[in-house]
Amino acid sequence: MTEHKHGPNCDHDHDTEEFDTIILTDDEGNDHEFLHLDTLEVEGSTYFVLMPIAAEEDEEVDEAIILKLGKDAEGNEMLLDIEDDEEWEKVADAWESMEEEE
């Protein structure tokens, strides 16, 4: 997936909690919009916690996703699925701990 960040002067409304909006493009070329809830550093790697923005009004979205910042073959930054269950658990636990401290 490719990451595109919106700047402060983008032409659409953002939620009042001031989360950045990120648009990721999947392998089929479809864009998906997310709120960037948090960025975590765990064991030297960077992870993004994202909440999908519902495309349809009746679509329920209640689960955040965590993606790892990595690089593609050309060295461009991209967000990747975490495929290792143990790694995912460590990052999820770190995010939960941060949320509890706030």
Please report, for the chain, the start and end positions of each structural domain, with discontinuous segments joined by +.
Answer: 2-101
pLDDT digits (tens, 9 = 90+) for 66-93: 999 999 899 999 999 999 999 999 999 9
Can you give the pTM of this predicted structure? Answer: 0.71
3-class SS string, the chain: CEEEECCCCCCCCCCCCCCEEEEEECCCCCEEEEEEEEEEEECCEEEEEEEECCCCCCCCCCCCEEEEEEECCCCCEEEEECCCHHHHHHHHHHHHHHHHHC
pLDDT digits (tens, 9 = 90+) for 33-50: 999 999 999 999 999 999
